[in-house]
Structure 1
Amino acid sequence: MQMGLDFNLVEELVAGVDEVGRGPLCGAVVTAAVILDPRRPILGLNDSKKLTEAKRDALFDEICEKALSFCIARAEVEEIDRLNILHATMLAMQRAVEGLHVTPKLALIDGNRCPKLSVPAAPVVKGDSQVPAIAAASILAKVTRDREMSAFELIYPGYGIGGHKGYPTPVHLEALARLGPTPIHRRSFAPVRAAWEAREGASTLLI
């Protein structure tokens, strides 16, 4: 069901901002900021997790075509390990908003925290199910990250990354223990750190 766009808000240049990838053990955290165009409505917007992959892919293209402005940004694994996942996510959200070629008058952030921005911002809990611009941002971020994870499946076979997208599923945890971490694994995350230390310990015993 199409959520009701608040045309007054859209006309006032409101950006929706969301992230994907806080929980996975590997890969970047990806964010997006979107300013929708009230003259070019997009049907079917919803929380990206509630949509099929095919629907997300179709909406991804439509959002990129019809939005007044959008920006997809990220914080890399090295930044996540250095800053922690919360601060890295806030940094990636800052990058997404700053990357918009149209300056919003307000940024609505999915969740209960806001990054430090040069424009006014407000958090919206479960915003990806309530605010069309946030739903659009969630779709851009998720499709982008999912495609990256599918590509990493080819580079790092054996971990099932293309299926679980880096989340700590039993398949992923077993592969991590058996094969060890890859360069895209977040060593600040406990399961990855444990796997790394186990392999380091085993290497020490062999010396």
Structure 2
Amino acid sequence: MIEPTLEVETGLWDARPLVIGMDEVGRGALAGPVSVGAFALARCDEVPAGLRDSKLMTAKARERTAPVVREWGVAAVGHASAAEIDAVGIMAALAIAGRRALEALHLAGVDVVGSAVLLDGSHDWLSSRLRRPLAITTRPKADRDCGSVAGAACVAKVERDALMVAHDEDHPGYGWASNKGYAAAVHMEGIATLGPTRLHRRTWLKSDGAVRASAAA
């Protein structure tokens, strides 16, 4: 299994004192928010033991590792609701969630403007909703290869999963405690039987509850 390193961050630290790794979770779900983790990290030498690409970690491993990540640097998570996704689209909603995560870091005392921002992926999905430009670097598979981005994803995944488990108690019948809002069979059956809730991305559903082709892209 590939372990994240700090090789990319080390190059960025040569120019700026902090690197803010950022990654999104929940992008492909049918219900719940899209969430973005932002993790500010000062120069260091080691990645916490057990931290990996969040998609390759078990739920228990993520829950065990997230508090360690929060002690390693400064973490924040921003969310954009299903209603916001329906109103502006998923890419703009990603940027909104990312801006909220950065605003939370700012309130925690992080010099966001003076930091290097490292985004997972090949596209800058963040800048469109920022009030001022930031020093952004994009990198495909940064959630796998870069410790700061892996940390951001782990914290965001744990926080979003906890939200969906709590929502499952308010909206039983969709299986969110297990599927976290993704298109599992029990979730699709719940939509067909009970209809969508206020937490569903309505533009991603047809009138019969089937997933639109664009939602899975």
- Structure-2-length-normalised TM-score: 0.82
Structure 2 equivalent of residue 44 of structure 1: 50
RMSD in angstroms over aligned alpha carbons? 2.0
Structure 1 equivalent of residue 167 of structure 2: 152
Structure 2 equivalent of residue 200 of structure 1: none
Question: What is the aligned counterpart of 1:9 among 3, 7, 12?
Answer: 12
Q: For residues 172 and 57 of structure 1, what CA distance do their matches in structure 2 show?
A: 24
The superposition leaves residues 72-131 of structure 1 with CA deviations (integer Å, 9 ceiling, x where unpaired) of 111112111100111101211122223323124211111122111431112111110011
Structure 2 equivalent of residue 58 of structure 1: 64
Q: Cα offset for 1:9? A: 3.3
Q: What stretches of structure 2 of length at least 5 have no aligned partner?
A: 211-217
2:209 corresponds to 1:195? yes
- Which 4+ stretches in 1 moved above 4 angstroms? none
Q: Cα offset for 1:38? A: 3.8
Structure 2 equivalent of residue 103 of structure 1: 111
Moved more, 90-99 or 137-146: 90-99
Confirm or deny: 8 A CA contact 1:37 1:66 kept in the other structure: no
What is the correspondence of 1:47-196 to structure 2 with a 5 Å cutoff? 47-67=53-73, 69-100=74-105, 101-104=109-112, 105-114=115-124, 115-116=126-127, 117=130, 118-191=133-206, 193-195=207-209
Q: For residues 53 and 37 of structure 1, what CA distance do their matches in structure 2 show?
A: 27
Confirm or deny: 8 A CA contact 1:26 1:166 kept in the other structure: yes
Q: Cα offset for 1:165? A: 0.8
Structure 2 equivalent of residue 203 of structure 1: none
Percent identity, please.
36
- Highest CA radius of gyration, 1 or 2? 1
2:35 corresponds to 1:27? no
SS in 2 for 1:167: coil
SS in 1 for 2:52: coil
Moved more, 27-36 or 116-125: 116-125
The superposition leaves residues 139-179 of structure 1 with CA deviations (integer Å, 9 ceiling, x where unpaired) of 01100011111111111111111111111122211110011
Q: For residues 24 and 94 of structure 2, what CA distance do their matches in structure 1 show?
A: 7
Q: For residues 72 and 156 of structure 2, what CA distance do their matches in structure 1 show?
A: 16
Aligned length: 194
Q: For residues 146 and 184 of structure 1, what CA distance do their matches in structure 2 show?
A: 14
Confirm or deny: 8 A CA contact 1:2 1:43 kept in the other structure: no
